[in-house]
Amino acid sequence: MTGFLRGSATAMITPFTASGVDFEAFGDMIDYQIENGTDALVILGTTGEPATMTEEEKLALMRFSVEKTAGRAKILFGTGSNCTEKAVFQSKKAEELGADGVLAVTPYYNKCTQAGLAAYYEAICRAVRIPVVAYNVPGRTGVNLLPATAEQLAAIDNLAGIKEASGNMTQVVETARRIRGKCDLYSGEDALNLPILAVGGTAVISVVSNLAPKPVKELVEAVLRGDLARANELSDRLLPLSEACFTEVNPIPVKEGMNLLGFRAGVPRPPLTPLEEGHRALLAAAMKACGLEARA
């Protein structure tokens, strides 16, 4: 299917306190995104640290997100797993709780075959009626969703798109060619938002837009209307911030960036650690250069 996502989606962080999820702070972040034009919120993706959350915390965050967003933006919940049965269960629960779609990362650690990937996504898509987005991020999962497999998946009625974060533009271009007109291509790598959009991407799922939702949205809009001069201007402005947001593993820097903006983002859960001081100074400088005013 095509047409599910167009524009900017933010891969939301999850703010924690010592006792659990900080729902009030998360609600403030949802409002910030919507007020600045973000089209969709991706919750419990990698950036949201679901690997360190209990099932009860994840369900509570899903319920809160649907209620707080109240239809003002699309909501996708991360439901991928290295167990197909668990991914199916989580996808069904997301649909039951009111998600507009689900984001399913490729199975991690198991290193399954391409046939295994196809069977995994077919099982998820059969289990729900809502759109499913496949997420390819081999640097984290150890498995790469190849273009031929993406083409196979694109034939599934409710497979809405491929979120590409392989970092390999040759592969991205080939995936775009094979899925064009069947399902959509989404950028999952902030540094490559402009080129992925330029080869036919319809949306970005961005980490940087936690901090800078408005310019990320403007970048997507500029490409989609064919204004590459403006798109390059915005990309040039955002790239140093993107680099600063990945000096340490995501979401360590972006959580500190949200703290600098005055949100109660807290710190990542172990085994992730707070941002190192030298990287904090680099991030603060990149935020200032991008026009983001630190309040903390």
**Angle at alpha carbon of residue 255, lines to 34 and 161, rounded to 5°:** 55
Spatial distance between the Cα atoms of 177 and 100, rounded to a whole number of angstroms = 26
Spatial distance between the Cα atoms of 147 and 191, rounded to a whole number of angstroms = 21
Q: Which of 20, 110, 105, 52 is nearest to 271 (CA)?
A: 52
Would you say 45 and 81 are in contact if contact means Cβ atoms under 8 Å apart? Answer: no
Written as six digits, the tokens of 59 are: 């369900």
Q: Which of 130, 180, 173, 193 is nearest to 154 (CA)?
A: 180
* Contacts (Cβ under 8 Å, ≥6 apart) of 195: 169, 172
Catalytic residue among 58, 163, 217, 255: 163
Spatial distance between the Cα atoms of 64 and 117, rounded to a whole number of angstroms = 31
CA distances from 19 to 53, 54, 254, 269 (A): 12, 12, 21, 12
HSE-CB for 132 with a 13 A CA cutoff: 30
Q: Is 74 a catalytic residue?
A: no
CB atoms within 10 A of CB 113: 11
Helix (H) or strand (E) holding 40: strand 40-43
Catalytic residue among 68, 74, 93, 135: 135
Q: Is 109 a catalytic residue?
A: no
Written as six digits, the tokens of 53 are: 């959350």
Q: Which of 33, 89, 22, 34 is nearest to 61 (CA)?
A: 22
Would you say 8 and 39 are in contact if contact means Cβ atoms under 8 Å apart? Answer: yes
Active site residues: 135, 163
